[in-house]
Each structure stands twice: as structure tokens, then as C-alpha cells.
């Protein structure tokens, strides 16, 4: 890095022995190493090191104004993802284990950031519920409702709670849920209206909505009929929704 380039990084204490490898991630990206999983505005790559599978998210360079804002005033998306993942794990909500984050800036201007986590144990994503049949679909939906209730009871809401950010897997006969893409989170009280509105981006059939609403209401000691009514109402206002239910 050049003379004016400044780098900050945070490595989870459990992975301090891997500091040399983790600190080399930006250089490995520049060299084109790692298996590309997704490439768009941001980029995801998988790395395997010492028998561990890591997923690295490289965030795109923001516009000039935001380069100044992130350089001085606002935490980077990578830092927020790391810290929010730790908060989820503290309350018992699943997410891939956060390993590290790195920020690189040129003088006062923010440049790039990287978030590193372990590869998820979950091989399925919510959108697949519309693409194939899962024998344990009801249990999957109930567990999503239960996990959402835990999140909201702790004053947290995922602000991009969509079909691509909820992962699931049947592990040993028990449904395991993991949430990803955590850089945008709300912290504060969530009443029944705010809580149900947080589910508006999830496509669902009427039966799926019943499963979600029932378990969510149970987890928050709310009226299930009212939750179902609100969830359906908010979902119906979403533009371009794929479920076409009502």
C-alpha cells in the first residue's frame, strides 16, 4: 500500500493465530485468488486455509461523498457486519461466525473494506422454498418465525430481511437458521406493527404466512390472528412481489 494508505483491521481472538493469512486477504483479492461465488456491486469469494473454509465479502468503493463520510464519521459496512454478527450470536440467533474485518483508506478518504466469516453450515436459502419441495417446510417456517421473534424481542431487526438473506439446514433432525448480510440493522423497540412490517419482503403462500405468523406471535406473546393480518397487509404492498397470493 502507498504512503498515504491507512489500514485498520479487527480479528476475532479465536482466530488470532491466523493473522498472517487474514491480513493478506486484500492482497489475495488483488491477485485474483480465491473461488468467486458472486461478483456484482460487491464480491464474494471462498478461501480455504488450514482446513477452514472462509467467505470474504469485498464491498465496492463508495462514491466520493461517502468515501469522506466512511473515512471519518461512519463505520464501514464490513465493520457493521462483523459487530452485528457478534450481537446476533450473543442472543442465540445463528449467523456464520465473524472472523475479521478490514478497512483501507487513502488519507481521509475511505477506499475498500472486507468482511470475513466462516462458511455457513446451511446449504439452502429461503428463495428455494419456491423452487423445490422440502418435506420439513412447516418446521423451517416455524423456526424462521421463532428466530425473528428472538431478534425483535432483543430490539433488533434485519433491514434487508429478504429471500436471499435467510439460510436454513436440517442438522441432525433440527432446523438451523442463519442470517447473513448484516450491515443494515435497526436497533430499538419493535411493537407488533414494526415487527410484522419487517417480514414484508418475504414471499409466502397463505399457508407459509400462517406458519410464520403463528410462531412469531408465540415467541412474542402477541395475537396470532393480528400478526397474520398485518403480515399479509404489509406483504401485499410490496412492488413486483412474486407470490401473487391474494
Which helix (H) or strand (E) element contains residue 100?
A: strand 98-106
pLDDT at residue 73 tops 60: no
What is the predicted pLDDT for the residue at 125? 97
Contacts of 186 (CB under 8 A, 6+ apart): 156, 157, 159
Segment 103-113, tens digit of pLDDT: 887 666 657 88
pLDDT at residue 245 tops 60: no
What is the predicted pLDDT for the residue at 96? 98
Nearest Cα to 6, choosing from 80, 82, 71? 71
Segment 15-70, tens digit of pLDDT: 999 999 999 998 998 899 999 998 888 899 999 999 999 999 998 665 445 544 54
Nearest Cα to 82, choosing from 14, 164, 22, 10? 10
What is the predicted pLDDT for the residue at 171? 94
Domains of the chain, earliest start first: 5-118 (3.30.200), 124-236 (1.10.510.10)
Strand partners, 57: 44, 115
Nearest Cα to 96, choosing from 111, 114, 84, 79? 84
pLDDT band with cut points at 50, 70 and 90 for residue 246:
very low
Amino acid at each position: 500500500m502507498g504512503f498515504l494508505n491507512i489500514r485498520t483491521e479487527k480479528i476475532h481472538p479465536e482466530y488470532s493465530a491466523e493473522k498472517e493469512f487474514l491480513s493478506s486477504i486484500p492482497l489475495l483479492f488483488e491477485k485474483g485468488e480465491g473461488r468467486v461465488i458472486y461478483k456484482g456491486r460487491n464480491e464474494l469469494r471462498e478461501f480455504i486455509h488450514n482446513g477452514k473454509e472462509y467467505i470474504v465479502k469485498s464491498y465496492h468503493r463508495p462514491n466520493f461523498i461517502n468515501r469522506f463520510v466512511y473515512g471519518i464519521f461512519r463505520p464501514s459496512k464490513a465493520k457493521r457486519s462483523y459487530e452485528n454478527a457478534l450481537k446476533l450470536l450473543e442472543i442465540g440467533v445463528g449467523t456464520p461466525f465473524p472472523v475479521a474485518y478490514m478497512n483501507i483508506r487513502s488519507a481521509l478518504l475511505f477506499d475498500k473494506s472486507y468482511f470475513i466469516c466462516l462458511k455457513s453450515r446451511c446449504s439452502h436459502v429461503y428463495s428455494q422454498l419456491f423452487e423445490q419441495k422440502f418435506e420439513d417446510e412447516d418446521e423451517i417456517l416455524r423456526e424462521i418465525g421463532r428466530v425473528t421473534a428472538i431478534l425483535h424481542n432483543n430490539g433488533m431487526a434485519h433491514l434487508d430481511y429478504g429471500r436471499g438473506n435467510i439460510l436454513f439446514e436440517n442438522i441432525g433432525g433440527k432446523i438451523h437458521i442463519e442470517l447473513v448480510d448484516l450491515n443494515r440493522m435497526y436497533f430499538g423497540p419493535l411493537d407488533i406493527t414494526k415487527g410484522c412490517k419487517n417480514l414484508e419482503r418475504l414471499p409466502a403462500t397463505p399457508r407459509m404466512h400462517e406458519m410464520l405468523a403463528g410462531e412469531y406471535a408465540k415467541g412474542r406473546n402477541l395475537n396470532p390472528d393480528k400478526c397474520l393480518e398485518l403480515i399479509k397487509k404489509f406483504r401485499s404492498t410490496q412492488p413486483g412481489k412474486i407470490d401473487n397470493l391474494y
